Structure 1
Amino acid sequence: MTLSMWLLTIILVGLVVLLVKFQQHTTAIFGSVLVLIFALGWVDSETLLGNAANEGLATLVLLILIAYALEKTSILTQLTRSLFSKSERSSIVRTISFSGISSALLNNTAVVAAMISSIQKNPQVNTARVLLPMCFAATLGGTMTLIGTSTNLVVNSMWVKQGHDAIGFFDLTPIGLIVFLLGAIVLYFTSLMLPKKEMVEEDVEEYFVEAKLESTSSLVGKTVEEAGLRNLVDLFLVEIIRSDRLVRPVSHSQMLRAGDKLLFSGNVKKIQVLDQFDGLKLFAHKTGLLTQELTEVAIKQDSNLVGKSLKETGFRAKFDAAVVAIRREGEQVSGKLGEVHLRAGDLLLLATGTDFASRDNLRKNFYILSGVTPDNMISGWREKLVMVGFVAMIIGSVVTGRSLFDLSLFLFAALLFTGCISVDEIKRHFPVSIWLIVVSALSLANAMQAVGMDGQIASFAANSLSGYAPVWTLLGVMVLTIMITELLTNNAAAALMFPIAYSLAIGMDVNAFPLILAVCFGASCSFISPFGYQTNLMVYNTGLYKIKDFVKVGGLITVVYTLVCVIMIPIIYPF
């Protein structure tokens, strides 16, 4: 080995050590290595810019942003409503199935986040028995399509950079489907090994929110359950006011009528979910003020508002603001929002106008506490556009053979032009970390070529592995990738293992695609450690699990997962 090869080897070893020791600084570590190999001249500026803007990486970014727009629709909320029954076994089957199938098309982190809340709120099942199987099923489901997990997209971008056609949308499906089905069976039975615990619910500030059902709403004449208002995530229908008559508690069979005032309690960040129900208007909508950014205030002891209702105060004209929700410590607010008599210490969430900050009566009446940004949602024709556009993109890619980059670019442009996703949201959700990791990994592969290390690995494969069946190399690549993903993260594991797997295939003179798929599936196999993947950490903290719970359930899943991949990959994609 030359001096340059030894130096690059030291850099790669140092990269792994730093990633293990400082996992929270993954982006900075990869970025530093990128600068270092550029400074050493192993990668020139033209190559670096090509890596930063290659088609595979651009497709990855576009699909992640499109997936975010899809998460803003009501699809997850609608589908989670019928998951649970009084039977724990039936609930686990439904949860595993829904989580896996959803994660094949949606970001699995978003799926897990939405389902955690639904599981927490459901009294019919023990949360600890359902939560971990749901999380693992989401990971398994993500292996079924190209966009099921960012790891697949990372590998695809590196594969395209090598001059190959992009991985097809359903190229991973035959293997991923078998992985999911067998994994789901294992999860069903291993869930019995999990202890029964009560989950600690997230501490949220429960506000009192009013919405009116308009006469034109399609919900009129339906029961509460038929309308889908029974199992909202983080919002609970407390009471209905109908012609000055109070309906409380609200049963699932209660019929909805035009003009009903529906009173919800819960996490105010979820209030925009109500916008997705036809003809359901928040109290603040009467004023014409938007609820994208909210201001939280507390009423002062000597405020002129104390003892008066919102209607009596002329709140909108006085402050250029409308009350979206009210919270009162130690007491649940009841009745029409506009008729609630305010008290000192009441917390109000305000949708404010442009003149709000300049009003000179604010300090006299309020303590300004903070700004609150509700979870942004989309509804109506925009929601339909996102869903139909997403399905059309997938079908178009399969039927026409047009590249996923082209179709995702068209859909992204349509979503941006129609306001389904804003420029600010693009800035907030642009996957900078994944982008930098992929650019660094591509540049490391270029550095390996520049110093001849890829040839060294290929030579090793030709001399040392030529007498062995390629399936053993596939097994070795997969096991090593699994080990790295458990120690680091899935995207880092894929980035580090791709050039090694590709060089091994070149040296053995075999089809590289099976080994690349081993990297895809191996990088997604993160079940043994709660720290290997973000969804694992989410349920680990929320579900009060112990590491041994992950080891005993995740260990068996890992064995089954690995065996299925090693057997099925060479059958479907021969060497």
Structure 2
Amino acid sequence: MNAEQIIVVVIFLATMGGLIFTKKRPSGIFAASTLSLIITQQLNFDDVIANATNIGLITLVLLLTISTSLDKTALLKRAGRKILDKSYRSSFAKLFSITFVSSALLNNTAVVASLISTIKQNQLHPASKLLIPLSYAAILGGTVTLIGTSTNLIVDSFLIEKGHQGFEFFDFTIFGLTAGLICGVFLYLASPLLPTFQGSKSQYDSYLLEADVEADSELIGKTIEENRLRDLPDLFLIEIIRKNKLITPVTPDLMVEKDDKLIFTGNVKNLENIEHIKGLTLFAEADGLMREQLTEVIVSNRAPIIGKTLKEVGFRALFDAAVVAIRRDGASISGKIGELKLQAGDFLLLATGNDFLQRENINKNFFIVSEQTIKRKLSIKQEIFTWSGFLGVIALAALSIVPLATGLLFFAAALTVTKITSIAEIKRNLPLNLIIVIVGALSLAKGLEQSGVLALLTDFMMPLLKQSSPLMALVVVYLLTLLLTEFVTNNAAAALLFPFAYGVASSLQLPVMPFALAVAFAASASFISPYGYQTNLLVFSASNYKFIHFIKIGTPLSIIYSSIVITMLNWYYL
């Protein structure tokens, strides 16, 4: 090995060591490796810029940008309220099916995040029997299409960078669908291996929220249990005000009536879980001020409004703001928000008008704490446009009529024009860390290739690989990726192992596609560790799981999944 090759190998090993043995963010580690390659003149700046404009990376960023608009719609939230019933078999089947199908088209981390609180707070089944299946269903569903997981798009970007056409939309489907459905059956049969306990309690500020049942509400005539009002994520129904009479506690068999005022306590960041219910209007919505940015304030100890109700002070006219929720530390509060007497130290969450900060009386009454960001509720027309537009783009790409990146770009522009999203929201949700990881991984791969390190590695392994079958080469690539993904993130594992997989396929004069797919599938197959994949980490944090719980059910699942994928790739391509 010459000096340049030694430098690149040291940077590569340092990157691997940083990902496996430190708690530093992968984006920081890959940024450091890229800078090291530039400083040591193993890459120039033009190489890095070329990696940043990779079409696969652009497609991924556009897809994640659009997914924030899809997440505003009520579809998944409505489905989440109807998933669970008294039968575990039925609940499991609905949970797996909805998660599996959704993850094939949407960001699977977002799917799990949308459903996790519903599962965690349900009163019908232990959360621990459903949270790991939720994560695994999302992982399995993500491998069914090109856009199901960012890992697929990362490998796609590597293929394109190598001069290949890249993946077609359904190149993953026959393998991912077969393996996913078989593994789903196994998960249900293996559910006795899962522990039995409820999810850990959420830590959040107990704000009081009020919502009115309108005449056209879908809740009317059904009980609290039938409406799933006990299972709203991080929101708890504590009382109902009916004809100026307080009903508390709220029993599951209580029927909801027109003009009821439902009083919730919970996390204000989950307001969209109330807003998506047809005919249920938040207290502040009546003033027409509900918007994306909410302002949290504390009532000053010298405020003239102390001891008065919101109605008495004419809050909306006085401050150009409406109270969305109220919190009083160290004391419980109940009743209509508009009739609560304000006290010094009360926390108010305000939906503010354009004139709010210009009012001279703001500093006399409040200390401004922070701004809260919530997902703005979409109208029915906006929801229909969002979903029909997204599915239209996917259909055009799947039929090879319009390239996926082109369709996503125009659709993102259409979402901005129709005010479903905004430039500010796009900037706020830009996946900068993921972009740095991908650009860094592409740069590291180019450094390994240009320095000749990959050629040395494949030459070293060639005698062993040539004595074996193409299947054995495929197995080696798959297992190395699978092992690495349990120690680092799935995206990092795919980025680090693809250059090796490509070198093996080229040296053995085998088709590149099965090896690229093997890297993509193996990088997503993180079932054994709670730290290898984002969805596993989400459910691990939401419950009292231990590492051993993932090992017990994840190990046999990983063996079944891997066996199916490798067998089918060998049968189809080799």
> Structure 2 counterpart of 1:196, which letter?
T
Q: Tell me, yes or no, if the aligned pair for 1:42 and 1:446 is still in contact at 8 Å.
A: no
After TM superposition, the structure 1 = structure 2 runs for residues 151-550 of structure 1, keeping only pairs within 5 Å, are 151-214=151-214, 217=216, 219=218, 223=222, 231-241=231-241, 243-244=243-244, 249=250, 254=255, 256-257=257-258, 259-300=259-300, 303-329=303-329, 333-460=333-460, 462-550=462-550
Judge which range, 274-283 or 559-568, deviates more. Answer: 274-283
For 2:360 and 2:414, locate their aligned partners in 1 and report how far apart those are by CA, in whole Å. Answer: 43
Separation (CA, whole Å) in 2 of partners of 1:68 and 1:351: 21
Separation in structure 2 between the aligned mates of residue 461 and residue 404 of structure 1, nearest angstrom: 37
| Partner deviation per Cα, 1:311-346 (whole Å, 9 max, x = no partner) | 111222333322112234566544433223334443
- In the alignment, is the contact (CA less than 8 A) between 1:57 and 1:435 conserved in 2? yes
SS of corresponding position for 2:63: helix
Does structure 2 conserve the Cα–Cα contact (< 8 Å) formed by 1:295 and 1:370? yes
Amino acid at match of 2:291: T
Please say if residues 71 and 106 of structure 1, whose CA atoms lie closer than 8 Å, have aligned partners that are also in contact: no
Deviates more, 1:265-274 or 1:247-256: 247-256
* Structure 1 CA distance for aligned equivalents of residues 547 and 72 of structure 2: 33
Distance 1:224 1:399, change over 3 A: farther
Partner of 2:79: 79
Q: Comparing 527-536 with 146-155, which one deviates more in the overlay?
A: 527-536
- In the alignment, is the contact (CA less than 8 A) between 1:487 and 1:532 conserved in 2? yes
Distance 1:461 1:479, change over 3 A: same
- Range with bigger deviation, 524-533 or 312-321: 312-321
Displacement of 1:353:
3.1
Letter in 1 for 2:391: V
Q: 1:214 to 1:481 in 2, by over 3 A?
A: same
Q: Which amino acid aligns with 1:495?
A: A
Aligned partners of 2:333, 2:220: CA distance in 1, in Å? 27
State the 1:510 CA deviation: 0.6
Secondary structure of 1:81 counterpart: helix
Tell whether the 8 Å contact from 1:15 to 1:30 is kept in structure 2 after alignment.
yes
CA displacement 1:135-193 (0-9 Å, x = unmatched): 12211221111111111110011111111112112210111112211221222233212
In 2 relative to 1, CA 256–392 (structure 1 residues): closer, same or farther, beyond 3 Å?
A: farther
1:406 to 1:291, Cα distance in 2 relative to 1, 3 A = closer
Q: Is the 8 A contact 2:235 2:270 kept in 1?
A: yes
Instruction: Write the deviation string for residues 456-487 of structure 1: whole angstroms up to 9, x where unpaired.
Output: 34434554322321111111111110111111
Bigger shift: residues 326-335 or 33-42: 326-335
SS at match of 1:104: helix
Relative to 1, partners in 2 of residues 1:195 and 1:500: Cα closer, same or farther, differing over 3 Å? same
Q: Is the 8 A contact 1:117 1:233 kept in 2?
A: yes
SS across alignment from 2:324: strand
Q: Which moved more, 1:517-526 or 1:557-566?
A: 557-566
Maintained 8 Å contact 2:323/2:351: yes
Structure 1 CA distance for aligned equivalents of residues 23 and 362 of structure 2: 46
Change (3 A) 1:218 1:92: closer
Partner amino acid, structure 2, of 1:61: V
Q: Relative to structure 2, which stretch is displaced further, 426-435 or 329-338? A: 329-338
2:51 aligns with: 51
Deviates more, 1:308-317 or 1:445-454: 445-454
CA deviations on 1:468-518 (whole Å, 9 max, x unpaired) are 211111111111101111111111111101111001100000101101111
Query: 1:190 and 1:24, CA in 2 relative to 1: closer, same or farther beyond 3 A?
Result: farther
The Cα RMSD (Å) is 2.6
- Judging changes above 3 Å, is the alpha-carbon distance between structure 1 residues 126 and 70 closer, same or farther for their aligned structure 2 residues? same
Q: Which moved more, 1:340-349 or 1:24-33?
A: 340-349
Find the counterpart in structure 1 of residue 41 from structure 2.
41
CA-CA distance at 1:240 after TM superposition:
4.8
SS in 1 for 2:144: coil
Change (3 A) 1:363 1:400: closer
| Amino acid across the alignment from 1:51 | N
Tell me how far apart the structure 1 counterparts of residues 341 and 41 of structure 2 sit (CA, whole Å): 72
1:97 partner letter = S
Q: Give the Å deviation of 1:246.
A: 5.3
SS at match of 2:58: helix
1:478–1:519 Cα contact (<8 Å) kept? yes
SS of the residue 2:486 aligns to: helix
CA distance in 1, matches of 2:473, 2:567: 13
Deviations 1:370-410 (A, max 9, x none): 33222444332222111111111111112244321121122
Q: Secondary structure at the match of 1:85?
A: coil
Post-superposition CA distance 1:14-73 (Å, at most 9, x none): 221122122423112211221222333333343332221121111111111112221121
C-alpha separation between the residues in 2 aligned to 1:571 and 1:77?
A: 40
SS at match of 1:263: strand
Name the CA distance, whole Å, in 1 between partners of 2:379 and 2:485: 38
Most deviating of 506-515 and 68-77: 68-77
Gaps of 5+ in 2: none
Which of 189-198 and 482-491 deviates more? 189-198
Q: Distance in 2 between matches of 1:337 and 1:4?
A: 69
Offset from partner CA, 1:291-314 (integer Å, 9 cap, x none): 322233333555433432211112
Q: Deviations over 1:528-563 (max 9, x none)?
A: 122212222222222111111111111111111211
With over 3 angstroms needed to count, the CA separation of the structure-2 counterparts of 1:198 and 1:218, relative to structure 1, is closer
Q: Take 1:496 and 1:563, find their aligned partners in 2: how far apart are those partners?
A: 23
Cα distance in 2 for residues equivalent to 1:183 and 1:296: 46
Q: 2: distance between equivalents of 1:115 and 1:288? A: 29
Question: In structure 2, how many angstroms separate the alpha carbons of the residues matched to 1:75 and 1:141?
Answer: 18
Provide the C-alpha distance between the structure 2 equivalents of 1:250 and 1:387, rounded to a whole number of angstroms.
Answer: 37
Q: Which amino acid aligns with 2:255?
A: Q
1:390–1:157 CA distance, 2 compared to 1 (3 A): same
Residue 431 (structure 1) shift = 1.7
Partner SS for 1:323: strand
Mapped contact 1:112–1:135 kept (Cα < 8 A): yes
Contact kept? 2:466, 2:508, Cα under 8 Å: yes
CA 1:469–1:377 in 2, change beyond 3 Å: closer, same or farther? Answer: farther
Deviation at 1:253, TM superposition (A): 7.1
Q: C-alpha displacement at 1:91, in angstroms?
A: 2.3
> Is the 8 Å Cα contact of residues 11 and 36 (structure 2) preserved in structure 1?
no
Give the AA of the match of 2:176. G
CA distance in 2, matches of 1:31, 1:557: 34
Would you say the 8 A contact 1:458–1:503 is kept in 2?
Answer: yes
Residues 306 and 47 of structure 1: CA distance in aligned 2, closer, same or farther (over 3 Å):
closer
Change in Cα spacing, 1:241 to 1:53, as seen in structure 2 (3 Å) is same
Shift of 1:228: 7.1
The SS at the match of 2:410 is helix
Alignment check: 8 A CA contact 2:122 2:230 kept: no
| SS of equivalent to 2:466 | coil
Q: Which moved more, 1:229-238 or 1:535-544?
A: 229-238
SS at match of 1:198: coil
Report sequence identity in percent. 40
- CA contact 1:474–1:515 (8 Å) conserved in 2: yes
Structure 1 residue 65 and structure 2 residue 65: aligned? yes
Amino acid at match of 2:288: G
